[in-house]
Amino acid sequence: MFSINSIVLFVGTLLLFGIASSKFSARIGMPVLVLFLGVGMLAGSEGLGGIAFEDYRLANSIGSVALALILFDGGLRTSLQSVRSTWGPALSLSTVGVLLTSVLTGLAAAWVLDLPLLHGMLLGSIVGSTDAAAVFSILRTSGLKLPERLTATLEVESGSNDPMAIFLTVSLIEVIMGTADSLAGITLLFVLQFGVGAGVGIGIGYIAAWLVNRINLDYPGLYPILALSLGLLSFGLAAVLGGSGFLAIYLAGIVLGNSTIVFRNGIFLFHDAGAWLGQIVLFIMLGLLSFPSRLLAVSAEGLMIALVLIFVARPLAVLISVFPFRFRLREMVFLGWVGLKGAVPITLATFPLLAGVEGSSLLFNVVFFVVLVSAITQGWSLPLVARWLKLGRTSDPLSPVTVEINALRHVDGEIVEYVVTPFSKVAGQALRDMALPYDVVVTLVVRGDNVIIPRGSTSLEPGDHVFIAMRTRFKPLLTCLFDSCPVVPPLTVGMRLDFHADCTIEQLQWFFGLSEPADPERQPVGRLVASEGRKTCLRLGPFIITPGEQPDKVTLTYTDSGECDQRQVEGGRGESS
C-alpha cells in the first residue's frame, strides 16, 4: 500500500516526465498525447515503473474530470462566429458521421473478432467519435494554420460528438445486458443526452457570464476558479439530469468565452494550464491502465479494425455527412483523415467492463490498440497531409513577449497582438504614413528577439509582432489591416470614427480601402474642413468628414447617401460611437 508521500512523489515524477515528453515530441514530430501514453505505459505494471493500476472505475472518474477540463478550455477558445459558420457540417458530423462510422467499424469488428453483431457494434460505437482532447492537442502543437472554416468544423465536431458516442455505447450495453426498457426508452436517452446537455450548458454559460461580471471579488485569482466551478456545475448538473455533461461543459465554455467578462486573460490562461494538466493526467493514467502484452495479443485484429476505421469508415462517413455543405474535395479528404481517436474511446471502453459485458476485456484491449494506431498514424501525419493537400501554412511564430490588460472592471479598451504577414496592408508601411483612428495607439513592436519602441519613422515588416492599444469597437477594422480582408467590416449608418486632424485624404483612403482620387497637395484633413477659419465638410466615399470636438480631431460619419452641409458639420462633432 502506497503512503500519501509516495503517491505525491509518483504524481510529481510522472507530471515532470509528461512535460519533458512534450518537448521531445516537437523534435520528432510525434503527437504529444502518444508520448503521454508512452510515459504511462513505461510507468505501469509491465514497464520500468512497475506501478500496478487496474481500477477501471477510478480511471473512468478521473478521465471524465480531465475531459471536462479539456472541453471547457476548448469551448472558451471557440468563437461564436466559428460555431455560426460551421454548426451545420459540425452537427452532421457529430451525429450522422458518428453513427455511420460506428456501424461500418462495428461490422468490421464483428467479422474480424468473430463476435456477435451487437458486440461488434458496441466496439464501433466506442471508437466512433472524434476525440476532443486529441484534436485540440494536435491543432495546438502541429505548427500549422489551417483555413478557419476547416479548423472550426473540426473543433466544434470534436467538442460536440461525445453525446452521440455515449448514447450509442450506453444503449448497446443495455440491449446486450437485457436492461433496455424499450425503443421509447432508448429514444428518451437520445433526447436527454443532447437536449438536457445543450440546455444546461447554454443556461449555465449565461449565468456564469453574469455572475463573473457582478460578483466583484476582492482577490483576482478567484475569478478563474469561479469560472471553473461554474463549468463543473454545468457538467455535473447535466449528468445528474440524464444529459451529456461533456456537451454541457463545452457549450458553457463557448457562451462564457464569447461574453464580455472581467479578468478575461487571467481566466483563459488558468484554463489553458488546466487543459494541459488534464491531458497529461488523462493520457498518463490511461497508459498506466494498459498492459503491453495484452495489446500485442490483439495487434493483428486491432490493426485490421484500425485500417477499416481510418481508410473506409471515417472517410465514407465524412463524405456523406458534409457533402451538402459545399466543402472542396481536398477539404473533405482532410476531414476524413483527421478522425483522431484518443481518451474518449478508452474511457468509453471502461463502460462495458463496469457493466460486466461478456468479452469486455477483449473490447478494451482492441480499443486501446486502435487508439494507438490512430493517434500515431493520423496525428503524426496531420501536418504532412495538410501540406500535401495545400490546405495549411506554417503558423505564426510566438512572440517572446506578451502585453495584456487583466481588467477587474469593464473597460472600453484592450491591447491586441497582431502579426504582420507579407500580404498585410501594413507591411512596409511607416507608422507616420498610416491613418489610424484617434483612440488607437501602437504600443510595442517585437521583431525577432528585439523590442522596438514605436516612433513615426518605424516601418512594419513581415514577421513583426505589433501590440496595439485600442477602443474595443475598432478591433474589426484593425484586424482587416493585418489580415487583408477583401472588404471592410460592415459599418452602420450614422457610425462615427475620430481620426487625427493631420492625416491626409490619401491615408484615409488607404485605411478604408477606397479608390477615389487622392488630394494631390496632401493637405491635412483638419485644414481642409476648417479652411480660413470657416468650418466645412468633405465627402469621402460613404463617409462625411467634419471637424471634431477638439482641434486635433476630425470625425468621419458613415452615411449611405447625400451631400455634406452645415447641419452635418454641427452633427459631426462629438465622440465616436
The letter for the amino acid at 141 is: T
Q: pLDDT at position 134, please?
A: 65
Q: Please say if the pLDDT value at position 574 is more than 60.
A: no
Q: pLDDT at position 561, please?
A: 61
* pLDDT digit string, tens, across residues 280-297: 888 888 888 888 888 889
pLDDT, averaged across the chain: 82
* pLDDT digit string, tens, across residues 196-255: 999 999 999 999 999 998 888 888 889 999 999 999 999 999 999 988 888 899 899 999
Residue that has been written with the C-alpha cell 487622392 in this structure: 518
Mean pLDDT across 5-15: 76
Q: pLDDT at position 569, please?
A: 47
Q: pLDDT at position 571, please?
A: 45
Looking at domain 494-577, its CATH architecture is: 2-Layer Sandwich (3.30)
> What is the three-class DSSP state of 490?
coil
Higher pLDDT, 258 or 20: 258
**Among 42-46, 142-146, 264-268, 356-360, which stretch is predicted with the lowest mean pLDDT?**
142-146
Where in the chain are the domains? 56-394, 397-490, 494-577
| Cα pseudo-dihedral 346, 348, 350, 351, rounded to 10 | -170
Q: Are 69 and 279 in contact (CB under 8 A)?
A: no
Q: Are 449 and 400 in contact (CB under 8 A)?
A: yes
Residue 569 to residue 557: CA distance in whole angstroms: 10
Fold annotation for 397-490: Alpha-Beta Plaits (3.30.70)
Q: pLDDT at position 237, please?
A: 95
Higher pLDDT, 362 or 392: 362
DSSP calls for 204-266: HHHHHHHHHHHS--SSTTHHHHHHHHHHHHHHHHHHHTTS-HHHHHHHHHHHHHTS--TTHHH
Residue 521 to residue 544: CA distance in whole angstroms: 20
When pLDDT is cut at 50, 70 and 90, the band that residue 576 belongs to is very low
Residues in the chain: 577
Q: pLDDT at position 180, please?
A: 66
Q: Are 171 and 126 in contact (CB under 8 A)?
A: no
Q: Are 430 and 424 in contact (CB under 8 A)?
A: no
Q: Which residues contact 454 (CB under 8 A, 6 or more apart)?
A: 431, 442, 443, 444, 445
Residue 70 to residue 103: CA distance in whole angstroms: 28
Task: Tell whether pTM > 0.95.
Answer: no
Higher pLDDT, 4 or 255: 255
Residue 459 to residue 16: CA distance in whole angstroms: 43
Higher pLDDT, 456 or 513: 456
Fold annotation for 56-394: Na+/H+ antiporter like fold (1.20.1530)
Share of the chain above pLDDT 70, in %: 85
When pLDDT is cut at 50, 70 and 90, the band that residue 486 belongs to is low
For the beta sheet containing 440-447, the strands, ordered from the edge strand earlier in sequence to the opposite edge, are 414-419, 465-470, 440-447, 450-452
Exposed, middle or buried: residue 329 (CB in 10 Å: 0-12, 13-18, 19+)? exposed
* pLDDT digit string, tens, across residues 318-341: 999 998 888 889 989 988 888 878
* pLDDT digit string, tens, across residues 517-533: 666 667 888 888 876 55
Q: Please say if the pLDDT value at position 575 is more than 50.
A: no
